[in-house]
Structure 1
Amino acid sequence: MRPRPARTRPMPMQPWFADAKLGIFVHYGIYAVDGVPESWSFYTGQVSHEQYMRQLDGFTAARYAPRSWARLFARAGARYAVLTARHHDGVALWDTAQGDLSVARRTPAGRDLIGPYAQALREEGLKVGLYYSHSDWNHPDYASVVHPQPPMPDVSTSRWVVPADGRQDPAAWQRYLAYRDAQVAELVTRFRPDLLWFDGEWERSEEQWGLDALAAAILAGNPETVLNARMLSHGDYATPEQGIPVEPPPGPWELCLTVNDSWGFQHGDHHHKSVSRLVRYFTETIGAGGNLLLDVGPREDGTITPEQTARLEGLGAWIRAHSDAVHGTVAGLPPGHHYGPSTLSADRRTLYLVCFDAPREAVSVRGLRNRVRRVSVVGTGTELGHDVTGGLHEVPGVTWIDAPPAGDVDRHATVLAVELDGELDLYRGTGRS
């Protein structure tokens, strides 16, 4: 993960993104036919390129029902979704005019899959996100130049990335950029995504990618488009993967996380995270000021597995029961004040404390200068007693909140609403020397 760069766009970050809290990432493509890793399986030699591309013949999207997807995502509590319009393998999910490598022209699916997806999301009130890889390991002009400062060895050695004879071909690279820019323009003009989620940026420098011109073109088409950090200096937010950062990135950010261990559908991957674990990831992420972009991988026919469906619905049920602690909140207490994540109401007058385990005697909050007006259990409304012990001069005592009754304990995570006498005021000092 790279530090979030400064934005150069003329407009501020779109407010919907910060309050979305949950998005759904969808890795859908021909790789679901054999259930192999998306694009990477031929890049690393797990399968031959020929075998990988034969999956075009088996991709049917026979049961693709984007309205069912959108309804499921809404039940999960998501406010947006991001679909892989084109991964590193170069196979487009729409009928692109830039060559014939698309599911519309080269697979039995035989149609555009992006338009119905965008329409279905909007019908459910969800924002539309599209993933697009800067890199295309199938394009004849892609392996034509070399990164001037390769961030990892294979960027300067892979036959899918650099010219085999070492001779750079700037003209070929310009043809590739024209192809990429034209495809992105198709996505912007045809589907008007609210968010564009780029990838593959590590294989070239920002100057080589021509990101100044690309960002200008995207924002000219829709100035409100949100861009992720893989647009480098033009990115609006950071995108750590598969693990909550110990130190959250500055500014807006989003954790992309798989429900099991794979981005796309893989037949043998049954290592699904439990609903309780997903609630932990979710609350720890929003408690640190980020969004969770939770990934599912549909089968080649377009259906999402029962295991992944159940987890989305389980997470959504928890979010609905605790919506006050989710939407309309900002990052909560810094580490050290409470044993667990927390969020804070937008007016900064209500703290929401997340407790993963059933509290035994009491829940403590340290460093709270405010007087507590009331504490209740989110979802049931049960009021809890509280008191303060200790404290000396400027150092506040510890606020103790009575443990909720067993009937008020949520099996995934219990949330306590702590109403304060004013805006949150925390002591962050080291105590009396």
Structure 2
Amino acid sequence: MKFTCKHVVFFLFFTAVTYGQGIQNYTPSPENLEARKWFQEAKFGLFVHWGVYSVLGDGEWVMNNQNIPIDAYEKLPNFFNPIGFDADEWVKMVKDAGMKYITITSRHHDGFSMFDTNANSYNIVDATPYGKDVLKQLAEACRKENIKLFFYYSTLDWHHDDYFPRGRTGKGIPGRGQGDWDKYIAFMKTQLTELLTNYGDIAGIWFDGHWDQKQWDGKKFGKLQVNWHYDEIYKLIHDLQPQCLIGNNHHLAPIEGEDFQMFEKDLPGRNTTGWGTSASDIGKLPLEVCETINGSWGFNLQDRKHKTNKELIQYIVKAAGYGSNLLLNVGPMPNGKIQEEHKESLKKMGEWMRKNGETIYGTKAGPIPPNDAIASTQKGKKVYLHVLNQDDDVVLIKDFKGSLKGVQLFNGKTKLKHQKTPYGLLIQIPKEKMDDIDTIVELTLR
């Protein structure tokens, strides 16, 4: 078929509607570039999934998983009264854990807003006996302690009639009506304007739900059936707060207008989940991996999959080995408190970070590609080799090219025997100096 101008115009329109284009030729502001630098060096943050779903103690997807009718789910806010919530206590916990920022759900897929919004009355201030804005309290506590605040914002909504056409999820929820997609986009813009106007400086917006409008054949995502209007939404955010970083959990290569790239429950490019982002889709933006402290995002009474201190510490080390941050999640209980076992894990991570954080904070991915046994980070002429799972006291680094000035343990500064061979760099670590979680070797380059 011969292409005409008419066909080209149609193609461009169809592409925009199908894929949801970002800001064409986006140029980040100086404030934004400075924020990206900070983010890239921060390395560790707290993810918080909290909403009225916590009342049911079955995770944040309970509305979808149990196909709870709209009118039944709307009863939940009446039982949500988190009088145990203490924003100052949360922020102190975050600082003690060595975390630099918090990302909290302002609105999840169930459509309930955890902040004071004029866009509807389905929010924590108007619909619960608690009647207070937890995000406002958290923003004030973060400012006092110099902790950055990000807002998670769901683009998917199982409650709002204007989220139509419906996506792949929530199809079995009774009581969902049909509405106007353009009105839904306007609703989101109103709420994002509120979040970026009423809470002071916001470090970033963490979008989630794009994938709901993509066809899925069990192996891969297909085309979008809607236009997300990212060009308008991303511009709105950067106009209101230029430093505000935009990330989108769409499992794709970055879209223009985004400022960092995230990976859900997966190290960058590994795609062990099957619906993650492949190595070829990794862009040049700062990276972030999000992971749960147990097996659930939202509070789950029956979750027994709590990760060990070793697993959690090694995960932040591996993430840093990819040049990525780790955003570690907790799901607070409906009373506003965080589970004691989660607090204890964060405390242990903080103790480790105070001792070893120099090898994580402010680093970039090291020259030795990470695997399950070894990760490396780098800061200037220092390369930190993290030996994670090895019983042998001799470590072989294949194809090591650098010229070395010295090799020693990071903790204790014990000098180590080493030798460059045709097979790579051999380093001998005394067995009594090996650490069960992470033996850190400091390589000084010439």
After TM superposition, the score normalised by the length of structure 2 is 0.82
Match of 2:210 in 1: 201
- Compute the displacement of 1:47 (Å): 4.1
Change (3 A) 1:328 1:7: farther
Q: Distance in 2 between matches of 1:7 and 1:405?
A: 55
Tell me which of 160, 167, 175 is aligned to 1:139: 160
Match of 1:228 in 2: 247
Match of 2:323 in 1: 289
How many residue pairs get matched? 396
SS at the partner of 2:413? coil
Match of 2:231 in 1: 212
Q: Which moved more, 1:362-371 or 1:65-74?
A: 362-371
Tell me which of 179, 195, 202 is aligned to 1:187: 195
Q: Distance in 2 between matches of 1:123 and 1:206?
A: 44
Match of 1:27 in 2: 49
Match of 1:430 in 2: none
Q: Distance in 2 between matches of 1:32 and 1:162?
A: 22
SS at the partner of 1:415? strand
SS at the partner of 1:379? coil
Note if 1:376 corresponds to 2:401: no
Which residues of structure 1 form unaligned runs of 5+?
Answer: 148-153, 392-396, 422-433
Q: Which moved more, 1:366-375 or 1:314-323?
A: 366-375
Match of 1:250 in 2: 283
- Compute the displacement of 1:122 (Å): 2.3
- Compute the displacement of 1:266 (Å): 0.8
Q: Which amino acid aligns with 1:236?
A: D
Change (3 A) 1:99 1:47: closer
Coordinate RMSD, CA, aligned: 2.7
Q: Distance in 1 between matches of 2:237 and 2:40?
A: 21
Tell me which of 145, 148, 157 is aligned to 1:124: 145
SS at the partner of 2:227? helix
Match of 1:8 in 2: 26
Q: Distance in 2 between matches of 1:379 and 1:46?
A: 53
SS at the partner of 2:353? helix
- Compute the displacement of 1:49 (Å): 4.0
Cα deviations by residue, 1:300-343 (Å, 9 ceiling, x for unpaired)? 11111111111111122212211221112100134389941111
Q: Which amino acid aligns with 1:414?
A: T
Match of 1:429 in 2: none
Q: Distance in 2 between matches of 1:162 and 1:201?
A: 23
Cα deviations by residue, 1:69-88 (Å, 9 ceiling, x for unpaired)? 11111111111110001111
Change (3 A) 1:174 1:358: closer
Q: Distance in 2 between matches of 1:337 and 1:195?
A: 30
SS at the partner of 1:351? strand
Which residues of structure 2 form unaligned runs of 5+?
Answer: 1-18, 214-223, 271-277
Match of 2:184 in 1: 176
Residues 2-401 of structure 1 aligned to structure 2 (within 5 Å): 8-11=26-29, 13=33, 14-38=36-60, 40-45=61-66, 47-143=68-164, 145=165, 154=168, 158=171, 172-191=180-199, 192-204=201-213, 205=224, 208-230=227-249, 232-244=255-267, 245-246=269-270, 248=279, 249-251=282-284, 252-335=286-369, 339-345=373-379, 347=380, 349-357=381-389, 360-389=392-421, 391=422, 398-401=424-427
**What percentage of residue pairs aligned between the two structures are identical?**
29
Contact kept? 2:45, 2:326, Cα under 8 Å? yes
Q: Distance in 1 between matches of 2:175 and 2:402?
A: 60
Q: Which moved more, 1:230-239 or 1:366-375?
A: 230-239
- Compute the displacement of 1:410 (Å): 3.0
Cα deviations by residue, 1:19-42 (Å, 9 ceiling, x for unpaired)? 11111100011111111221x322
Match of 1:151 in 2: none
- Compute the displacement of 1:360 (Å): 3.2
Residues 398-417 of structure 1 aligned to structure 2 (within 5 Å): 398-404=424-430, 406=432, 408-417=433-442
Contact kept? 1:25, 1:83, Cα under 8 Å? yes
Q: Distance in 2 between matches of 1:398 and 1:211?
A: 48
Q: Which amino acid aligns with 2:117?
A: T
